[in-house]
Amino acid sequence: TDTTPITIETSLPFTAHLCDPPSRSVESSSQELLDFFRTMALMRRMEIAADSLYKAKLIRGFCHLYDGQEAVAIGMEAAITKKDAIITAYRDHCIFLGRGGSLHEVFSELMGRQAGCSKGKGGSMHFYKKESSFYGGHGIVGAQVPLGCGIAFAQKYNKEEAVTFAMYGDGAANQGQLFEALNISALWDLPAILVCENNHYGMGTAEWRAAKSPSYYKRGDYVPGLKVDGMDAFAVKQACKFAKDHALEKGPIILEMDTYRYHGHSMSDPGSTYRTRDEISGVRQERDPIERIKKLVLSHDLATEKELKDMEKEIRKEVDDAIAKAKDCPMPEPSELFTNVYVKGFGTESFGPDRKEVKAALP
């Protein structure tokens, strides 16, 4: 692996609120550039495949795709460790992958199979990976942010020197509980980083129609914030590194990631009634996060067009194989309907009418 240092300039300067913005020069390496390209291409391919599986009715229910927003997941992971926690909303497939989740677990969960990361009980919106501090995967808009601040509280309580990234969209940014949790986090100096993934539409409602001030990085008032080009993985990386240092030392901070989703809000939304096709294709042409990395790889002579094409072919096969393997997995056993409702009762053998004896013991 080639770890020759490369310095990359972010696409745009950061805009800061109540703090000094970090430098636009980001330290990287040829290996990291190639890794970024590969992982983002894998995420993109995975989401496109999920789209097809949905249309083939192998995935049902809700399914929210992340294509367009990959730079956020990638840049964030590049700046932090698996001891740092992440919690997000329902657009969670790629965050899960970034935390070390496997394609097999993703597709198994999406198709409701036993081998899914949540045993087929969670579905698209409920991916988790406890061992690498990924706390989900949540379906109620904004309700994951108090949880994230609670995780940050636990990190402070246990003196862990780790931080929590609580992610939400521009739609969720108008939820009252965000401001409540932010107030407590600021009062208690919690290592909480609120990451607003601003893809500019809360379902079909444009940000300016839902927020009197769509400057989400400033909406913490007394909490510092940073506006970041969320289509530039290196800007995201720099911002997350900056935010982690800030949070450990001074408490919460808001990162607004200016990003874009190519798909509609969910599979029932064609994504074209509230925005123009020109807008979508314009972003694809000018700001696509993968194209940006690709150009950097080529301009630094780290790979040829052909090598990148081959890599994409490999990725396609990897995704297809994972889907085939997931399709072969059984659906959950009927008995799984009742597992994981309760952890086994404290001091008792079982619940309800079948119980033969009652025990209360001090462990």
Binding site for another protein (CB under 8 A): 85, 87, 116-122, 126, 128-130, 135-140, 143, 145-151, 153-158, 176-177, 180-181, 183-184, 187-188, 339-348, 351-353, 355-356, 358-360, 362-363
Across the chain, where does the E strand assignment appear? Answer: 5-9, 15-17, 25-29, 85-87, 164-169, 192-198, 201-202, 205-206, 225-229, 253-258
What are the C-alpha distances in Å from 132 to residues 29, 75, 82, 143, 350? 24, 17, 5, 21, 32
Query: Nearer Cβ to another protein, position 38 or 121?
Result: 121
Question: For residue 211, what are its two tokens?
Answer: 């927020």
d(CA 347, CA 285) in angstroms, rounded, equals 62
| Residue 89 Cβ vs another protein, minimum distance, rounded to whole Å | 12
| Residue 363 Cβ vs another protein, minimum distance, rounded to whole Å | 7
Query: Nearer Cβ to another protein, position 119 or 316?
Result: 119
Amino acid at 192: A
In the DSSP assignment, the letter for residue 27 is E
| Residue 117 Cβ vs another protein, minimum distance, rounded to whole Å | 7
Query: Nearer Cβ to another protein, position 3 or 339?
Result: 339
| Residue 222 Cβ vs another protein, minimum distance, rounded to whole Å | 14
d(CA 208, CA 111) in angstroms, rounded, equals 36
Query: Nearer Cβ to another protein, position 118 or 259?
Result: 118
Amino acid at 251: G
Query: Nearer Cβ to another protein, position 56 or 362?
Result: 362
Q: How many CB atoms lie within 10 A of CB 343?
A: 6
Query: Nearer Cβ to another protein, position 324 or 337?
Result: 337
| Residue 112 Cβ vs another protein, minimum distance, rounded to whole Å | 12
Query: Nearer Cβ to another protein, position 116 or 289?
Result: 116
DSSP bridge partners of 5: 29
For residue 167, which of 189, 198, 191, 190 has the smallest C-alpha distance? Answer: 198
d(CA 107, CA 115) in angstroms, rounded, equals 9
Query: Nearer Cβ to another protein, position 152 or 290?
Result: 152
| Residue 268 Cβ vs another protein, minimum distance, rounded to whole Å | 21
CB 253 within 8 A of CB 194: yes
| Residue 209 Cβ vs another protein, minimum distance, rounded to whole Å | 24
β 205-206/201-202 pair status: antiparallel
| Residue 241 Cβ vs another protein, minimum distance, rounded to whole Å | 23
Question: For residue 350, what are its two tokens?
Answer: 């079982």
